[in-house]
Amino acid sequence: MNVSEYIVKYLEDKGIEQAYVIVGGAALWICKALSAAEKFHYTFMNHEQAVVMAADGYARVSGKPGLAFVTNGPALTNTITGMAQAYTDSSPVILITGNSNSAHVHYELDHPIRQYGTQDVKTGPLMEPVTKKHWLLDDPAKTAEVIVDAYHTASTGRPGPVCIEIPINIQGASCPCAYPPEEAFGAETIPADTVQAVLERLMKAERPLVLAGQGIRLSGSTELFHRFIERLDLPVVNSRMGIDTIESDSPYFVGRCGTHGSRPSHFALETCDELLILGSHLAPNTTGYNVEVFSNQSHKTLVECDPAELVKYGVPIDVTIEGDLYDFLSQAVEKLEKENIKADHGYWCDCCRDWKKRYPIMHEEYFRTDVINPYHLLHTVTTLAGENDIVAADTGSSCSLTAQTWQVKKGQRVFISGGLSAMGFWATAIGHAQANGTKSRTICFTGDGSLQMNIQEFATLVKYQVPLKLFVLSNDGYEFIRMSQGGYNIKPPFGADIEKGVPIPELGRIAEAYGLKFVHLEDPAEMEETIRSVLDSEGPVICEVKVQTGLDIQPRIRSIANPDGTFRMPAYSNLYPYLDEEVLKEELEKAYWK
């Protein structure tokens, strides 16, 4: 085998069935090896950013690394947004890119020149900030070493994307490597006494709480997590990325916290006495921007596999445990079940449930509008969605609305545009849908602005009949930006409206040009019937929903303007619209009434 054939065979043998590709001249031998592969299904896309995003989506649903193949130069630079998205959201993507002759690559790297040959760019410096690791494979004898390292680096520990750059003269060179044996990659086991100490603190606490992040899913620990919280009678607050770690109707689910969170979750975080943080890196959209006072009354324990995340900017952590969440939870659950240990935090759990009941996200006025309210739309779709459906939300208002409103059912997976929050994230749902196949439906929400960032992939939906139900919130521009600018008295909004110059074309005509099934919805009375029809349709469907503009997403963290033009942040427990101070005080005091 040559180098390209060796790499393709290795990835096939790892059980990966899907690859996302845009071909190019500097990847000729890679393309030849891919064309001869027997097990891969290929999706050829129209922009390299979408190639990586789709590979990312495939990885998140399948649990296997997503594969992206592109050429060099502008193709490589186009992948950076997708790679940054996978990097911030801890998604295992393997990007393989061609390049010029290795002599030219080294000449360019070794000299302070901008470029040697046409389409050449210095790949390593571009990839370093957005990957776990980058390799320049310039020696055929290192092929096995590189591909094995790349696969395991992407998929173990804290997952993330990697990039292998292969010069064209190396791609077709004979590969002298034997087929690699499997190597053991894994984290050290967390000491049993460390786990025991956490259990003791949780059982002794009067108001223990779990902040559940995406790491629970990434570590494959969801089922263990449920057994853990049931044994210890623990209420759970989700970060936005941890949205699908627990069903919304669970008696232990309190709410989702952060900049666009829920009052119950913030009440709980501000009154708990023991906070166990699992799989969340405590981003500002979780903690709020006054990070130094985040849940400062609680004793905090953080379990984290990434040593770089053990020290949190501004947030004092009392106990840090470096290790794999699966290891931590499996040890904890084994001990709890073997010794039949059960905790009872009845009053505290009842208090959290009472907050959840009395401070819902949905309000009656959302249902009594002549124009469709976006909250009403999300409520209708989540009501009609079934168990095991996959849901994705693009950035902006689509992301915040989904994070607040979506009612997670058993077996559902929910993905939002997380750390990078890139417009055009909807293309990731192509990978979601292809990994999901016909097992259940794949639903995605995007805005009429974000949609344009990857509009070319409408052709991909048609060509491969990707069964994606894409709901487009049509609000004549960038609703989230309008809301943000309005908060800082930028009126009228700048660069956020169709009528002020934002070029958003008529969606129905675009869908028709691509040959996509298109549905337009603007009457609230027709919403349930229309959405049910869209969800039950075969193949890809674009459903444009004309929603009201001037949306005020709430509750949310919002700064307060001082008379001198500066801003101050209210208490984390007091989301906008602000509660009366006496009401807030009374709510928080309820946690201590036992």
DSSP for 213-281, written as a single string: -THHHHTT-HHHHHHHHHHHT--EEE-GGGTTSS-TT-TTEEEE-STT--HHHHHHHHH-SEEEEES--
Q: Residue 352 and residue 350: Cα distance in Å, rounded?
A: 5
The mean per-residue pLDDT over the stretch 238-256 comes to 97
Q: CB 174: neighbour CB atoms within 10 A? A: 10
Task: Determine whether 593 is exposed, middle or buried from the number of CB atoms within 10 Å of its CB (0-12, 13-18, 19+).
Answer: exposed
SS3 call for 343 = coil
CATH 3.40.50.1220 applies to domain 192-358? yes
The answer to whether domain 3-171 and domain 364-546 are alike in fold is: yes
Lowest-pLDDT choice from 98-107, 134-143, 306-315: 306-315
CB of 57 closer than 8 Å to CB of 417: no
Output the pLDDT for position 182.
67
pLDDT at 264 over 90: yes
**Mean pLDDT, residues 490-515 taken together:** 91
Is the CB of residue 389 less than 8 Å from the CB of residue 412?
Answer: yes
Instruction: Give the span between the Cα atoms of 591 and 268, in whole angstroms.
Output: 8
Please check whether residue 213 is in contact with residue 236, taking contact to mean a CB–CB distance below 8 angstroms: no
pLDDT at 144: 95
Residue 188 has pLDDT above 90, yes or no: no
pLDDT average, residue stretch 12-36: 95
Amino acid 580: pLDDT: 94
Does residue 466 register a pLDDT over 90?
yes
* 191 SS3 class: coil
pLDDT range class, residue 489, cuts 50, 70, 90: confident
pLDDT reported for residue 565? 72
Residue type, 172: G
Closest by alpha carbon to 94, among 6, 159, 178? 159
Residue 185's pLDDT band (boundaries 50, 70, 90)? low
At 531 the pLDDT is 98
What share of the chain in percent tops pLDDT 70? 99
Mean pLDDT of the residues in the chain? 94
Q: Which two tokens stand for residue 545?
A: 């929903």
CA torsion sign for 410, 415, 416, 420 is positive
Q: How is the chain split into domains, by residue range?
A: 3-171, 192-358, 364-546
CA 449 – CA 78 distance, rounded (Å): 20
Over range 235-259, report the average pLDDT.
97
500 or 254: which carries more pLDDT confidence? 254
User: Quick one: pLDDT at residue 186?
Assistant: 62
Confidence of residue 183 (pLDDT cuts 50, 70, 90): low
Whether residue 184 is predicted with pLDDT greater than 70 in this model: the reply is no
Per-residue pLDDT averaged across 207-232, rounded?
97
Domain 364-546 falls under CATH 3.40.50.970: yes
Q: What mean pLDDT do residues 423-434 have?
A: 97
Is the pLDDT at 481 greater than 90? The verdict is no
Q: Nearest CA to 28 among 139, 176, 172?
A: 172
Q: Is the dihedral of CA 141, 143, 148, 149 positive or negative?
A: positive
Please tell me the predicted confidence (pLDDT) of residue 187: 66
Q: Who contacts 293 (Cβ-Cβ below 8 Å, separation ≥6)?
A: 572
Nearest-angstrom CA–CA distance, 444 and 425? 10
H or E element: which one contains 68?
Answer: strand 66-70
Give the least confident one: 275-279, 328-332, 365-369.
365-369
Contacts of 460 (CB under 8 A, 6+ apart): 43, 44, 45, 46, 50, 54, 430, 466
Give, in order, the Cα–Cα distances in Å from 92 to each of 83, 132, 159, 535: 10, 10, 5, 29
Is 470 buried (19+), middle (13-18) or exposed (0-12) by CB count in 10 A? buried
Its sign, for the CA torsion 433, 434, 436, 438, is positive
Average pLDDT over residues 493-519: 93
Q: What is the pLDDT of residue 117?
A: 84
**Nearest in space to 540 (alpha carbons), one of 446, 397, 399, 429:** 429
Mean pLDDT across 133-142: 97
How many Cα atoms occupy the beta-carbon half-sphere of 165 within 13 Å? 25
- The Cα–Cα gap between 269 and 490 comes to 33
Q: What pTM was computed for the model? A: 0.95
Q: What is the pLDDT of residue 426?
A: 98
390, 416 in Cβ contact below 8 A? no
Strands 567-568 and 560-561: antiparallel
The CATH fold of domain 3-171: Rossmann fold (3.40.50)
Cα–Cα dist 345/268, whole Å: 14
**578 pLDDT higher than 70:** yes
Confidence of residue 497 (pLDDT cuts 50, 70, 90): confident
